[in-house]
Amino acid sequence: MIPWWVLAIAVFGTNFTLWGLVGLLRLLDSSAQKWWPRRAGRSVSGSGVVVGRHRYRQRSGRPVGIEDVAVLMPAHNEELVIVDSIQAITRLVPPENVHVVSDGSTDRTVELARGCGVNVISTSRNVGKAGALQEAIRRFGIVGRYRVVMLLDADTHVDPGYFRAALPLFADPQVVAVAGCVRTTWRGRGLGAVGTLVAFHRQRIYTMTQYLLKFGQTWRRANATHIVPGFASMYRTDVLPHIEVNPPGLVIEDFNMTFEVYQKRLGKVGFTPSAVAATQDPGTFRDYVKQCKRWSLGLWQTVRLHPPRANLFTVMLALLLVEMLASSMMLVLLPFVALVLLVPELFAGALALPVFHDVHAFVAGFATLPTLLYGVVLPDMLLTCVVAVLQRQPRFLLFGCFFLLLRVVDAAIALYALPGAWFSRSSGRWRSPGRRVIDPSGTPTR
């Protein structure tokens, strides 16, 4: 018989526990530095900064400012949201710093972007997001003209305090990338009940992974995170020549760029929950499943592409993948186990059926209904309560009983995508979910 607390650990996650504790140490370390400030160790030689095995030029002794940031926005058929997103970012950075690359768009994306007074180019054909980024970095001369580049999705709104929180992280010369803190938008999008549920489920995932994983993983003393998400994150332009932005066969680029940073020892990734940007997550269950398949496939493809190394990043990634596989298999089996245990409670004569009796006896040898209640259902509800408190949003509690079902869906997708990483190749072309125009009366909420 599996103890209920073993299931609870699997539901909550040993990685969440481990990195959550590291995150607590980071908070204590930050508080201590306010009282006993000290300079971070750095090696400066000549006109450059040495990080790992690489030397990056130091253009100026002054801190990175807004004028040093190029915003690079790849777009494919984004006429519904492109103007709104450009207007939002040009409130924070000069329009001449914003660069849009239309990747084979067949709608009015190019026309609308040019009307906003920003820099716009088009690819000759649909080459995918990574291919469009690679071409735009070259054609706009991003590396030679700017110190930092922000990769910004065309459906994303950057909060006013994003740069104020994120740019100081580049004061540490070892930090070569800064991951944005994502939140989903749901107000004003006209979402139905299922779309709203999906949005809140995705925000629950964001909250858990960012506060309990990424915050600890990006502590300067133990820096190793599996992804710098491509929706609104920044890189030093000096490291871009060392990163293969568009390797063939990958469906998405952000996992690969993060792996390249760590596996090539280019530097560290910075993260603060205060650097927030809001993005549109899928508005239908079908689009959600399609996007999750793409993300899961992208992760497994990137794992296949990068052999393990003797470093902290590989150890962190191995722990994450082992737990993901184990918890995914447990969650996929959960509905079957629950059904087998529940049927005799509803239909007393079910145990008289020979085949069902044997199946029930086998399953009951591992779990009972109280075990599932205390080890799976209640811990998952507790996670929802924690997220509701962190986000100051009681509405999460209204959807609490449905999140576990969506976790089962996520687990099935993760397992389904695994073989594809070894037996299929991807073109990288866009398969984005449908966009929605946001009603001005509806504002993004946390």
Going by pLDDT thresholds of 50, 70 and 90, the confidence category of residue 439 is: low
Does the CA dihedral 91-96-99-105 come out positive or negative? positive
Q: Tell whether 380 is covered by a domain.
A: yes
Angstrom distance (rounded) from CA 118 to CA 72 = 11
In sign, the C-alpha dihedral spanning 185, 190, 193, 198 is negative
Residue 50 has pLDDT above 60, yes or no: no
Q: Please check whether residue 255 is in contact with residue 210, taking contact to mean a CB–CB distance below 8 angstroms.
A: no
Rounded to an integer, the average pLDDT of 299-319 is 94
253 occurs within a structural domain: yes
Higher pLDDT, 59 or 411: 411
H helix count then E strand count, the chain: 18, 11
Lowest mean pLDDT among 10-24, 146-160, 323-337, 353-367: 10-24
pLDDT at 41 (0 to 100): 43
Most confident of 2-6, 99-103, 442-446: 99-103
DSSP, collapsed to helix, strand or coil, labels residue 222 as coil
* Residue 60, domain member (yes or no): no
Strand order in the sheet with 43-45: 43-45, 48-51, 54-57
Choose the weakest-confidence range: 64-68, 162-166, 391-395. 391-395
User: pLDDT over 90 for what percent of the chain?
Assistant: 70
Question: Order of strands, edge to edge, in the sheet holding 268-279?
Answer: 119-122, 98-102, 69-75, 148-152, 232-236, 175-184, 268-279, 157-158
Reported confidence tier of residue 36, pLDDT bands at 50, 70, 90: low
31, 336 contact by CB (below 8 A)? no
Q: At how many degrees (to 10) do helices 312-346 and 354-364 cross?
A: 140
Q: How many Cβ atoms from other residues are within 10 Å of residue 432's Cβ?
A: 19
| Residue with the larger pLDDT of the pair 302 and 445 | 302
- Model pLDDT for residues 73-113, shown as the tens digit of each residue: 999 999 999 999 999 999 999 999 999 999 999 999 999 99
Q: Is the pLDDT of residue 56 over 50?
A: no
The CA distance from 430 to 290, in Å, is 12
Residue 77 lies in a domain: no
Query: What does each C-alpha distance from 357 to 22, 344, 345, 363 come to in angstroms?
Result: 47, 10, 13, 10
DSSP 422-433: HH--B-----PP
Average pLDDT, the chain: 88
What distance in Å separates the CA atoms of residue 234 and residue 232, rounded to the nearest whole number?
7
CB contact at 8 A, 19 and 389:
no
**Does position 51 have pLDDT exceeding 50, yes or no?**
no
**Predicted local distance difference test score (pLDDT) of residue 423:** 84
Q: Are 100 and 124 in contact (CB under 8 A)?
A: no
- Which pLDDT score is estimated for 280? 86
Residue 55 burial (CB count, 10 A): 15
The arithmetic mean of pLDDT across residues 157-184, rounded, is: 95
Question: Band of the pLDDT at 34, cuts 50, 70, 90?
Answer: low
Q: How confident is the model at residue 72 (pLDDT cuts 50, 70, 90)?
A: very high
Within a domain: 342: yes
In a domain, 27, yes or no: no
Q: How far apart are CA 372 and CA 129, in angstroms?
A: 42
- What single DSSP character describes residue 371? H
Q: Is the pLDDT of residue 329 over 90?
A: yes
CA distance 435 to 81: 7
The pLDDT-based confidence of 418 (bands split at 50, 70, 90) is very high
With CA atoms as reference, report the closest residue to 395 among 385, 404, 410.
385
Q: What is the mean pLDDT of residues 380-389?
A: 93
186-205 mean pLDDT: 87
Give how many domains the chain has, as a whole number: 1
- With a cut of 70, say whether residue 37 has pLDDT above it: no
Give 30: exposed, middle or buried? Use CB within 10 Å, 0-12, 13-18, 19+: exposed
The helix/strand/coil state of 305 is helix
Please give the Cα distance from 246 to 260 (Å, whole number): 11
State which residues form the domain around 270: 1-16+147-446
Residue 252 has pLDDT above 80, yes or no: yes
Average pLDDT (305-314) is 93
Residue 189 pLDDT more than 90? no
Distance from the Cα of residue 249 to its chain's centroid: 20
Distance, in Å, from the CA atom of 328 to the CA atom of 404, rounded to the nearest integer, reads 12
pLDDT at 406 over 80: yes
Helix (H) or strand (E) holding 40: none
Q: How far apart are CA 134 and CA 127, in angstroms?
A: 10
For residue 10, pLDDT over 80 is answered with no
Q: How far apart are CA 384 and CA 402, in angstroms?
A: 11
pTM for the whole thing? 0.87
Element at 49 (helix H, strand E):
strand 48-51
Residue with tokens 């007074």: 117
Does residue 131 lie within any of the structural domains? no
185 assigned to some structural domain: yes
